[in-house]
Structure 1
Amino acid sequence: MSSAFFARKRDELVPAPHAHGPWSPDMLHGRLLGGLAARAIEERYAEPGLHFARLTVDLFRNSPMMPVTVETALVRDGRRIRVADATITTEQGVIGRAAAVLLRQGEQPGGTRSVVTPAWDAAPPSGPPERGRYWTPPFDLWRLAGWERPGPGRAWLRETYPLVEDEPITPFVRAALAADFASPLSNAGPEGLRFINADYTLTMGRVPEGELIGVEATGHLSAAGVATGQITLHDTTGPFGFCVVTAVANPAPTG
């Protein structure tokens, strides 16, 4: 791993040039804001025996490539549940927020479940990652089916840069970064990506193992320029979570 997406400068996090997203070279990538929120909440409120079960990230304002700050607040701290918020700000104001739910781990109930998410049959990637037509992602991406092909979209993802300088990426932050891919995977079609997501909600039964995260689109609905999509997230040992996004129609990125 080489240059991080963000460098620390006093209380701010300064983005590197490759922190932009596919919609514009002058716009911070939303996945990184979700990652920063997850990082801040985990740094402040993680505790042995508490599991990050949900992270909801609201991306309600596009931000140019400028320094950001992340502030956290404890909402609830009970015996079995902890809820914390994060607010992401630039000099232009608040650009996003996040809410995390941590649940107390305990004994797993016995018996069988009526519905069980199956493991997918996608082998870990063996070849080089692909490059984009208009934008090469600053992470490794292996698509297992093209956008134009029918059936569920599938891909393997692997981070290639630290989120913040001199910090390893934790499993929770890794999942938060990958979860944003729910929008392009579930909302893209043969003509490209015509929806930009306004939020995403990641839920996890466990944290991922290893560096590879597999994502599989399992649903899309849209009408009148508003969409919702969902994916299942996997690692090399099996499924570990889900992500749901909402999105609004947006002109396709052109470079």
Structure 2
Amino acid sequence: MAFYLSDPGDPSRFHSTELTRGPWSPDAQHAGPPSALLGHVIERCDPRPGFQVGRVAVEILGPVPLAPLTVTAKVVRSGRSVELIEATMSSERGPVMQATAWRLRVAEPVLDVPAEFLPSGTRELPVSGTEVFPTDQSVGFHTGIEYRFAAGSFLTPGPAVCWIRLKYPIVEGTTPSPLERALAAADSGNGVSSVLDWAEYLFINTDLTVTLHRHPIGEWVCLDAITHPQPHGIGLAESALFDETGPLGRSTQTLLIAPR
């Protein structure tokens, strides 16, 4: 089981499985798996030892179908210390997602940063979780991951603290990388912290930006998420990202909010 199956005849081609399905349409993907797939391809684009992805910005150009996808990436700005990578995901209808990523050189030797200026604060992983995602779809992204809420819930309006773990690889035959885990989890910020009734309103994110000052350790990523809706129908979801050892970074999503 995996979210995507690789194509033995084309390394840029990936076949979407039912685990990628989103909560509202049987034919469209949740944005978490394709965001992680973009991260998968970005990390494999001309990899450089001693470099690490520090930011990924994903533009969601339209619904991502449960269909074969072509994902390509290239370095568009190379340098000694930083480089910019662009990636594109396309279906037979054309591009459905685009991403840019900054890859930065990791300092060696390690910089002597005073401890008081380092992000800190451990988070405790809840022992178990029984939260059920509110959807009529029997198989999808919600069955491919495990949720554990430390505060809030899907059906409780307002901020939430939610831990997320991938149950399956993003791409068959591989182990999810820390970047893939962070991207797959971060796109759930607007879902776990919704403030309006799921049955009455849509809150669709047009993008996902994830900035990481370090990559997660272990399988679990925590979202301390809050949604800011506005009466004119534009909103923002933002999440502080953690693992069990402390802060990782931040993610944001621009939201289109509308009655169903």
Both proteins in one fold, TM over 0.5: yes
Task: Identify which of 163, 172, 186 aligns with 2:179.
Answer: 172
Q: Identity over the aligned pairs, expressed in percent?
A: 29
Shift of 1:47: 2.3
Query: SS at the partner of 2:35?
Result: helix
- 1:155 corresponding residue in structure 2: 162
**Aligned residue identity for 2:114:** G
Please say if residues 190 and 226 of structure 2, whose CA atoms lie closer than 8 Å, have aligned partners that are also in contact. no
- 1:108 corresponding residue in structure 2: 111
Output aligned runs, 1:125-164, within 5 Å: 125-134=126-135, 135=137, 137=142, 138-144=144-150, 145-147=152-154, 149=156, 152-164=159-171
Please say if 1:194 is aligned against 2:192.
no
Structure 2 gaps of 5+ residues are none
Structure 1 gaps of 5+ residues are none
1:142/1:128 CA distance change after superposition, 3 Å: closer
Task: Identify which of 210, 215, 218 aligns with 1:210.
Answer: 218
State the aligned residue count.
247
Task: Identify which of 108, 118, 121 aligns with 1:119.
Answer: 121
Query: SS at the partner of 1:194?
Result: strand
**Aligned residue identity for 2:147:** L
Please say if residues 227 and 235 of structure 2, whose CA atoms lie closer than 8 Å, have aligned partners that are also in contact. no
What TM-score, normalized to structure 1?
0.88
- 1:237 corresponding residue in structure 2: 245
- CA displacement, residues 145-197 of structure 1 (integer Å, 9 cap, x when unaligned): 124557631101000011111111011111111111122234x1251363110
1:27/1:155 CA distance change after superposition, 3 Å: same
Please say if residues 38 and 176 of structure 1, whose CA atoms lie closer than 8 Å, have aligned partners that are also in contact. yes
- CA displacement, residues 180-223 of structure 1 (integer Å, 9 cap, x when unaligned): 1122234x125136311010100001100000111101552534
Please say if residues 130 and 140 of structure 1, whose CA atoms lie closer than 8 Å, have aligned partners that are also in contact. no
Shift of 1:131: 2.0
Shift of 1:64: 2.2
User: Which moved further from structure 2: 70-79 or 127-136?
Assistant: 127-136
Please say if residues 31 and 177 of structure 1, whose CA atoms lie closer than 8 Å, have aligned partners that are also in contact. yes
Quick check: which one's strand share is greater?
A: 2
